[in-house]
Structures are given as structure tokens and as C-alpha cells.
Amino acid sequence: MNLALPILVVVLPFASAAVLGVVASWRIGSLINAASASLLFLLTCLLPGAASTVLHVGPVQAHLALLTSFVAMTTGWFGVRHVRAALDARLTGRRRVRIQQVTFQVLVGATILALLSDSPALTWLALAIAVAAATSASLTPRGAAPDAASRLLALCAVGLMLALFGTLLLYLAAEPNPASLRWSALLLAGSPRNAALELACIFLLLGYGTLAGLVPLHGWLPEAAAGPAPNAIILTSLLVNAPLLVILRLRGCMPADLLLALGLASLLLAACCMSSRLDPRRAVAFAGMALVGLIVFAFGLATPLHALLLMTLLPLARAAALQCEDLSPTRASAWTSTACVLALAALPPFALFLIAGATVDHSAWLLPPLGIGVLLTSWALIARLPLSVGPAARRDSGNETVALAPIWLQLAMLLILAVAMPEPVLDWFRDMTISIR
Amino acid sequence: VTGAAQLCGALALLLSFALLCQRRLRMSVCLCVVQALLVALATGLQGTLPLALFALLAFGLNGLVLPLALLRIGDRADRQPGFGAPALALLAVVLVAVAVAVAMRLGTGTRTEALAVALSIVLLGLLRITGTSALGLLSAQNGLILAAGAIPGLPPLVLAIVAVPCLPALMVALAWLRRFDRLDAAPP
């Protein structure tokens, strides 16, 4: 059982995608979607300590898989309401809904596979599957959609091609026995450096950096955020953790200055792109990009504990902010949306607070641009604040409290992790940091 | 045999430049097919059976199925990139120089040369994406096939991933959908 568990966790979303492809009713489909995501969360709760021959379940991988399935679960519940609202407003058709539900499960499965896989080639394959699913999900019935989808695919494909070249170089670096290359072995070997490994790391940083939303090729991120909501949440908040994990694993071989420069450039560019005229989803996407920049900056400063904490907080805040869509305009939902935007706006200063000391140790000159980027991002979010919540109420808001529950659950976790940080949780994070050192 | 493989690689790189300047779809697809053939020859000539099978599979998918599908779809959405031909050629030369400089860090020898050529083809293919995305991706995939052929002892999973061009196939599928869309939008 213990050996089969990780494989079960990976297979479950793909299996439910297959089931969803057959089920005709959108009502049953969205229930299956939510139920499967909840079951996945229960299974991943058992994951810490599990062993596997094919996959590698270290503390970090188990933690990120747990996070992924948790957000997937709340998004699944959100999806039930969202699909009903979208169908009522005739924003989408039933066939579209079915495609979106299938791609949602495929995205979740691909993300977990990319996190848990022990072989670099399998990680690449999982991310390619995710990009394929994202592309087919962002095809909306008519109009400019194929152009948006092909822009998304073209940028992600450039990143994936560079990453595949980097992966090939990684196999070249494992010269005497390339067939035995494993992420976990790469970590343990204390990295006997050679030129091929360093070169591979640069290509992987550029390639997977694209998928994480780093600077040279970040243009796909707003496109993806504007796609259908449940898929956009998985794509922009959870999928980025998989490429970030690769960068985290290899950060020892990457030039620290390049990491710092890419992180800072992403932060500043995202801060400049945020304007109050942006629609809310794109604003959330750019805020997330700024935070990913801060995370990569933290990688460059070699403070993995802070980076891991931010990698945990970012998906929670991003998903909660995106789940505030199409709530009916009640007082409670207005408060919820405000709380989500405030949480997202509080994250960059929080990150700055975490890494300021290490930044000054590295070079005090980095602090002013970092501060400017953080201030601009937070200010742009707070400036949107008197929020109007959606169009007129579409239905009786009797089950509104139920709809708000998952969002508040995520905000509560955010608060516990960022402010309270109880001792067991801190130990959990310390264990992770030790395991990747 | 090594000399022949090197010659094939060099010719493939030359075709990358030709592809960059070529704007007509039929001609570009022909160039892509020939490039795939040269890359398959350069990989297959190395003599081991798995590599020969890999080259055959890669040529079948990347050199025949996808280009013919693209030709059949007739994706005419070929945009001029934002800069003219001289700037494009200059950029291409710079990219090749970067690729060679990067590969030279791995040492010297035939493998390094093959990797330098492969990286150049990948980068030029990615540059071609600014025009027709599907063709650029096909060409970049050719470069990856060449790189995989130059690295000994790759596990079968990696060879399969490189041989099956999933990203170019997706791009061709999108081009097909876009034609569908245009038929929808066309006035009766």
C-alpha cells in the first residue's frame, strides 16, 4: 500500500479526467470533479513518509503535492458554482464545460507528476502535458481565442524547448551512466561540478523560468489568467511551483547573480505592468509574477526556508483572489474580496521583510530597487480596493456562506502560516530545508 | 562515417538560415523536410541500432507526417517579424556565435561540434517562431533530435520524448483550428 500510494496519487486525476470525458451531464461532471479533488487531498495527506521506486517523495515534494491538492480541492468546489453561473449567463456551452473539466483534472495530475517525478525527462513530459492541456482549455468557442491560445503555446513551447535542451545536457553531465540520472541523486551527490552541468542549469533556468513566469518570456501568464477560471487558477497558481522546484533543486549550480537579476527584473517589470485599468484576473497574474520574482531572488540569496514559505503562501493567496469571481453582491462577499486583495497586497512587503536581512548581507545596493518594486506592486493592488462585486445577483444567495467557506479556509491558512507560525509548522519547514540542502 | 555525419549537420544548419529567409509556405515546408532528412542521416549514421530506430521514428513523425499535415492545412498566417531581413540575418549570426561559444565550454571534439550545430538549429528555429510558429517549432525539434543523437547512452524515455514532436504537433493542430475559425468567420 505504502509503495503504491504515490503512484495512486498521480494516476487518480488522470483517471477522473478519463471518466469526465465520458460523463455527459455537466451537473454530475462538476460534482465528480470536486469529489475527485477532495479524494486526492485525502490521499496526499497520507503521502509524507511514503516511499516509491519510480517517484521520489521527499519532504518538499510531499509538502508541495499537499498544497497542490488542497488548492485543487477548493478550486473544484469553486468550479461547481462557477460552471452553474457561467452556464446561466450563457458565457459558455456544455461541450466547453466538459473540455474544461477534463483539462482541469489533467492539469492537476500533470502538476503532481512534475513535482513527484524523480527523472528529469518525466518532469519535462509532465510539464509538456500541462501546457498542452492549458492550450486546449484556453480555446473558447469563437473570436480571438485561437490567437490567444497560440500565443500561450508559442511562448511556453520556447521555454519547453530550451528546457529539453537543458535536460539533454543534464544527461550529458551524468556521463558514465546517463541512464541512472535522478533528481534525488543529483541532490545527494554534493554536485561534482562540470561544465556540462553548469550549462544545463542555465538552459533549465531560462526554460523552466518561462513556465514559472520569469522575465524574458513571461507574456503567456496574462493570457493564461484570462482563460476559463478553474483552469486558470491551477495554471497560474499551482503549476508554477513545479518549475520553481526544479530551479530550487539546482540553485547550487546556477550562477547566483543570474538568479538575482532575473528575480529583480521580473519584480520590477510586473510592478510597472500593474495599472488600475487592468482587469482583476490579469492584475492577480502580474502580482503573482512579482512574487515569483521575489522567490527566485530568495533562491539567489540562498535562503531556501523563506523561498519555500513564499512558495506555499503564493498559491493560497492567488487562488483565493481568483475564486472571488462571480460571487453575488452581498456584504459578506464584498468583505471576502477585499480580504483577498489585501492578503495578496500584503505578501510582497512580507517577502521583503523576510529577505531584507539576507539582501543587505549580499549587497545593500539591491535593497532600493527591491523596495520600489514591492511598494509599486502593493500600491497598485490596494488602489483597486473599493471593489464592486460582479453584476446583479443571479440567484438567491441562500448558499452564499457555503460558497465563501473555501476562500476563508485558504485565508485562514495564509494567516496561520504568515503570522502565527506555530512550532510544529516551523519544524515541518525546517525539515524541508534540511532535506534540500 | 563521422565526416558524413558532420557534413549532414552543417547542411542542416545552412537550411536553418534558408528557412529563416523563406516566406513561402510550400518552399519552407520542403526545406523543413530536407532538414529532417539530413538530421536523421546524421543521427542514424552513427551505427547503433537504437539510434537508427530513433532517427527513423523521428524522421517519420517530424519530417513527413507533420510537414505534410501543415502543407495540407495551408496555414497562411505567416507574419513578417518586427525587423527586416538584414536585422534578422544579423541576429541569426549572433545566435550561432552564442551557440558555438556556449558549446565550446564543453571542451573540443566532434561531440562538441555536433552540440554546437544542434544548439544553433534550435535557436534559429525559435527565432523562426516569430514568423510561422509551427515551422519554427519543427525546425527547433530537428535541432533537439541532432543533440540527442550526439549524447551517448540516453535512456529510452528521453529518446522517445525527443522523437515524438508533441509541441510542433500541438501547434499544427492549432493552425488547423484557426482555419476552421476563419471559415466560420468568412462572409457567405
**Is B102–A199 a contact, with Cβ atoms under 8 angstroms apart?**
yes
β partners of residue A55? A117
The per-residue pLDDT for A110 is 94
CA distance A124 to chain B (A): 9
Q: Which residues of B touch A157 (CB under 8 A)?
A: 129, 133, 137, 167, 170-171
Q: Which residues contact A258 (CB under 8 A, 6 or more apart)?
A: A202, A205, A300
Q: Is the Cβ–Cβ distance between B168 and B137 less than 8 Å?
A: yes
pLDDT digits (tens, 9 = 90+) for A143-168: 445 677 778 888 899 999 999 999 99
pLDDT in tens, A381-435: 888 776 654 444 444 455 667 778 888 888 998 888 888 888 888 888 888 888 8
pLDDT for res A405: 83
Minimum Cα–Cα distance from B127: chain A residue: A158
The pLDDT score that the predictor gives to residue B77 is 53
Write the DSSP assignment of A84-117 as a string of letters.
HHHHHTTSS-HHHHHHHHHHHHHHHHHHHHHHHB
Mean pLDDT for B156-183 is: 81
Across chain A, what does the average pLDDT equal? 83
Instruction: Decide if B166 and A128 are in contact by the 8 Å CB cutoff.
Output: yes
Residue A127 has pLDDT above 90, yes or no: yes
B184 interfaces chain A, CB cutoff of 8 Å = yes
Q: Considering only A182-191, A202-211, A252-261, A329-338, which range has the smallest mean pLDDT?
A: A182-191
- Residues B60-94 have pLDDT tens digits of 998 888 888 888 877 555 555 556 677 788 888 99
**pLDDT at residue B126 above 50?**
yes
d(CA A37, CA A106): 12
**Region of residue A227 (phi > 0: left; psi between -120 and 50: alpha; otherwise: beta):** beta
- Judging contacts by C-beta atoms under 8 Å, the chain A residues touching residue B140 are 161
Q: Where are the alpha helices (DSSP H) in A213-303?
A: 220-225, 229-233, 241-250, 256-273, 280-300
Of A10-19, A331-340, B163-172, where does mean pLDDT reach its minimum? A331-340
Q: Higher-confidence residue: A401 or A287?
A: A287
Beta bridge partners of A117: A55
Interface test with A, best of B121, B133, B170, B184 (most A CBs within 10 A): B170
